Structure 1
Amino acid sequence: MKKYGLVAAVALTMLLAACNNNNEETQNNTKPQVEQQSSELQTTKEEKLVVDQLGREVTVPNSIERVVMGGILPYFSTWYVATNSTKEIAGMHPNSYNAAKHSMLAKMSPDVLKADTSFIQNGEVNVEELMKVNPQLYIEIATDEKSIHKVSEAGIPVVALKAIDAAAAEPLATFNSWLEITSQITGTTERANRFLEEGKKVQAQLDEKLKTIEEKDKPRAMMLFRHNEKSITIGGKNFFGNQWLNATGAIDVAENDIQGQKEVNMEQVYTWNPDIIFITNFTETQPADLLENKIAGQDWSQVKAVQEGKVYKIPLGIYRWFPPSGDAPLMLKWLAQKNHPALFDYKIEDEIKAYYKDFYEYDVTDEDIQAILNPSSEAAKY
């Protein structure tokens, strides 16, 4: 595989995501109270200042050879998109590692599987274990004030990133912002710009076709974020799913009832009665579990999407497609086709093959494509 230079910014990576162990992409509205650093920091020739998404000036080495990612789960794939490399990733959250292990990135850049995960214990950062990993830089989700303080106090530079730009009208804003900061840290920008252009181009193509669709003709869709026999958690407004649906010609059934993510009961699902159900990669549930009514204590057979067989598992490429990833343009195309199959008649397998060849210079096999489109339940475990 050739090296482009900054795999950059697919900028579109959409809406992005990130989260911590239990709340991965849903901490979008909480404003952390981590105090801002003063602008009087001094740097050496080997260092530079980077302003993170809490407005803090952070001194980071000019050359990063060991970086660790905490509760901002999707970020490891952003690093790859920006640098075309994972060899610098010395550690990551166990949830991130499990997704990486079941992703295309494990084949494309196997160094990612060398990352240490032992510094996360009982869902929290263990600083003593983290020091053994010897990171030059730590990346954390902006809402995790506790971890930011603990790691900073240990003398490790911490760059904080926000999980989602809730105010953005399109789903790529967060990923774009992550790529921008990563480019500042690493000095790579070339690929990021290519991704940004591709994301804008794909969204413009969708918008051109979707402008002919009246509101009454849009499917009503539901994002099943986390799920098991005891709990049904749905994503709503100011969450990744809502942005994806809005961008691909669907109506989010939960957007007027839920901010972020929320646990609901079957009665609420019956009230919404969605035309389509999308299942994220943050739950082990598969479409067959709903279509064949396998979940004890839950009768999904009464839901329109189940009755019509329109229940889909969101793909997993270089990362889960629900939050931020370099595959965001493909997520847009995949969702648009599910929402409006007659309007978008391309073959998604061909789109995936062309995209991976163009942006990653990687030739995916037919088997790879099927794995992307049909992620296993194992990929959701952590």
Structure 2
Amino acid sequence: MSVAIALCALSACAKKDEETSASSTSETQTIEETSTETSESVSESSSEESSETSEEVKGESKASENPFGDPNGTHTVVDHAGDTVEVPNTINRIAVGSFYPLASVIAEYLGSAEKIVGIHPVSMSAAENGLLGQIYPEILNANTAFISGDEVNLEELLILKPDIVIGVGQEQAKVIREAGIPAVTTSASAWKYDIIETYEHWIDLLDQIFGGSDFAKKAMEKSDAVHADIIEKTKDIPDDQKARVLVLFKYTDAAMVASGVNFFGQWWCESVNAYNVASEVPDGSILKISMEQVYEWNPDIIIITNFCGTQPEDLYNNAIGTDDWSTINAVKNKRVYKMPLGLYRSYTPGGDSPVTMQWMASVIYPDLFKDTDIRKIAKEYYKEMCGYDLSDEQLDMMFIPSRDAARGL
């Protein structure tokens, strides 16, 4: 059940040929009854707030002029489902749907979370336990009552009076637009789960909506540079000496799920020239596996994402179900690692990726990257990008993330 929710947020929700309608009959009636009222209230809210002078926020100076011209006007964008959507030139209230990473990506992009009025509870658990709530604490004031799983409660959404809803499925977006609120669809899977390319396309969509971001531009440049450097340093590793890595997307007493060849874990392994053992399953994406399969693969390294609360010590201590990890190389050699929790769960694309890439390289090939001081790198990165000095406690929060970061999954 939890796997289905996470899968929906990272892949199925974003694919225009796999979406389901998010509205029920009663919700459709609510839309019909309130669409005129909502359109008027949204218009009134936008016109009232567009005249306000936006203040300078962390990490980014705001232009004094609207990038689209008339602050009271509109412009069109083409979302990831291929739909053309009319959006306001001035956006002061943003609701983010079941596309979990997007709340952090928008906060990074804008240099503030002040305009984000609604996010998913799963996004909130990451914000509360990671850097997002530290660097952009206003995100913690966002409403989460309007959405559960991938279902939007339209009545609750209308109460928020958003100028735009970003990150919902195609059919759901159409229903929300019928209520008078612009809504756009986003994809995680359209670019074959390439971390860098996917982030670039997310930013392209946000550029269409908001007009541009210094943070995003710098993050993309840094991702490209870091990735190129790591590839150069690892390119000569022979195939028979590549680290054998198992990426555990989710692991509880109910299920063990690995990242296959068609999911972000494959990119993370390839980014440091390591071998994803789960790639041996043809066309696999999110793979439910057994302990017997792990015995067969016997990985050298295990990476656990923040889409579950499981910690390395749970494998060392055989603390989950009846599984016995004691004979697995990664466990015997104490080479089980939890992915960092930065501005979001770092398994997905985002502004954290330049730091995550260097973390991944240093834990998989410590001899090649023995000079990597990941805490120093992180501290310098967020200072440059966000204008924020991370404390030692906040660095611990990032690199020794809490189990609570997976709350709601």
**Separation in structure 2 between the aligned mates of residue 118 and residue 214 of structure 1, nearest angstrom:** 51
Secondary structure of the residue that 1:295 maps to in structure 2? coil
Deviation by residue 1:267-301 (Cα, 9 ceiling, x = unmatched): 11111111111001010111000011111221111
Which residue does 1:309 correspond to in 2?
334
Please give the alpha-carbon distance, in whole angstroms, between the structure 1 residues aligned to 2:216 and 2:6. Answer: 27
Residues 165 and 173 in structure 1, CA contact (< 8 A), matched pair in contact too: no
Following superposition, the deviation at residue 242 of structure 1 comes to 0.8
Q: Residue 24 in 1 paired to residue 9 in 2?
A: yes
Matched, 1:151 2:176: yes
2:133 aligned with 1:124, yes or no? no
Equivalent residue runs for 1:25-104 within 5 Å: 25-27=10-12, 30-32=15-17, 46-104=73-131
Q: Does 1:197 align with 2:224?
A: no
Structure-2 separation of matches of 1:74 and 1:276? 26
Shift of 1:47: 0.5
Find the residue that maps to 2:99 and give its secondary structure: coil
**One-letter amino acid matched to 1:60:** V
Q: What is the RMSD computed on CA atoms of the aligned residues?
A: 2.1
Q: Which moved more, 1:257-266 or 1:322-331?
A: 257-266
Q: Quickly say closer, same or farther: Cα 1:208–1:28, change in 2 above 3 A.
A: farther
**In the alignment, structure 1 residue 358 sits paired with structure 2 residue 384:** yes
Please state whether the residue corresponding to 2:258 is helix, strand or coil.
strand
Q: 1:127 & 1:191 partners in 2: Cα distance? A: 32
Q: Distance in 2 between matches of 1:126 and 1:155?
A: 15
- Asked if the contact 1:21–1:95 (Cα under 8 Å) also holds between the matched residues in 2, the reply is no
Confirm or deny that 1:288 pairs with 2:313: yes
The alignment status of 1:271 with 2:296, answered yes or no, reads yes
CA distance in 2, matches of 1:28, 1:126: 16
Q: Which moved more, 1:201-210 or 1:250-259?
A: 250-259
Aligned residues of 2:216 and 2:351 also touching (Cα < 8 A): no
Contact 1:70 1:93 in 2 (8 A): yes
What are the Cα deviations for residues 90-109 of structure 1, in whole angstroms up to 9, with x where unaligned? 10111011111111121211
Question: Going by fraction, where is helix more abundant, 1 or 2?
Answer: 2
What amino acid is aligned across from residue 361 of structure 1 in structure 2?
Answer: G
Please give the secondary structure, in 1, of the residue aligned with 2:8.
coil
After TM superposition, give the deviation of residue 245 of structure 1 in Å. 0.8
Identify the residue that residue 3 of structure 1 maps to in structure 2: none
Matched residues in 1 for 2:279 and 2:350: separation? 23
Tell me how far 1:148 sits from its aligned partner. Answer: 2.4
Q: CA deviation at 1:165?
A: 4.0
User: Is the 2:251–2:257 contact (alpha carbons within 8 Å) kept by the matching residues of 1?
Assistant: yes
Instruction: Indicate the residue corresponding to 1:328 in structure 2.
Output: 353
Instruction: State yes or no: 1:172 paired with 2:157.
Output: no
1:196 to 1:93, Cα distance in 2 relative to 1, 3 A? same
Deviations 1:303-342 (A, max 9, x none): 2111111100001011111112211001100001111100
Determine if contact 1:176/1:196 at 8 Å carries over to the other structure: yes
- Once residues 21 and 277 of structure 1 are traced to their aligned partners in structure 2, the CA distance between those partners, rounded to angstroms, is 20
State yes or no: 1:298 paired with 2:323: yes
Helix, strand or coil: the match of 1:161?
Answer: coil
Q: What residue in structure 1 maps to residue 30 of structure 2?
A: none
Amino acid at match of 2:163: Q
1:259 corresponds to 2:244: no
Instruction: Kindly indicate whether the alpha-carbon contact (under 8 Å) linking 2:95 and 2:162 is maintained by their aligned counterparts in 1.
Output: yes
Taking the aligned partners of 2:369 and 2:397, their CA distance within structure 1 comes to 22
CA shift, 1:154, in A, is 2.0
Q: Matched residues in 1 for 2:303 and 2:19: separation?
A: 35
- Find the aligned partners of 1:211 and 1:181 in 2 and give their Cα distance: 33
Q: Quick one: which of 184, 190, 207 aligns to 1:183?
A: 207
Native 8 Å contact 1:20 1:73 kept in 2:
no
Q: Which amino acid aligns with 1:275?
A: D
Q: What residue ranges of structure 1 are gaps of 5+ in the alignment?
A: 1-18, 36-42
Task: Say if 2:401 is the partner of 1:378.
Answer: no
Are 2:136 and 1:109 aligned?
Answer: yes
C-alpha offsets along residues 202-255 of structure 1, whole Å, 9 cap, x if unaligned?
A: 011111111121111110101111111121011111211111111112101111
Distance 1:313 1:34 in 2: 32
Corresponding residue SS for 1:90: strand
Conserved in 2, the CA contact under 8 Å of 1:220 and 1:250?
Answer: yes
SS of corresponding position for 2:360? helix
Could you tell me how far 1:27 is from its partner in structure 2? 3.2
1:122 Cα deviation after fit: 6.0
Whether contact under 8 Å (2:14, 2:188) holds in the other structure is: no
Where does residue 14 of structure 1 map in the other structure?
Answer: none
Deviation at 1:31, TM superposition (A): 4.5
Greater relative contact order (Cα < 8 A, sep 6+): 1
Q: For residue 247 of structure 2, what is the amino acid of its counterpart?
A: M
Asked if 2 retains the 8 angstrom alpha-carbon contact of 1:290 and 1:300, the reply is yes
TM-score, structure 2 length as denominator? Answer: 0.82
Aligned equivalent of 1:135: 162
Q: Output the CA distance in 1 between the equivalents of 2:305 and 2:367.
A: 24
Please state whether the residue corresponding to 2:12 is helix, strand or coil: coil
Once residues 214 and 153 of structure 2 are traced to their aligned partners in structure 1, the CA distance between those partners, rounded to angstroms, is 36
Q: Please tell me whether the aligned partners of residues 12 and 19 of structure 2 are also in contact (alpha carbons under 8 angstroms).
A: no
Aligned to 2:366: 341
Q: Given the alignment of the two structures, is residue 231 of structure 1 paired with residue 258 of structure 2, yes or no? A: no
Q: Decide whether the 8 Å contact of 1:25 with 1:240 is kept in 2.
A: no
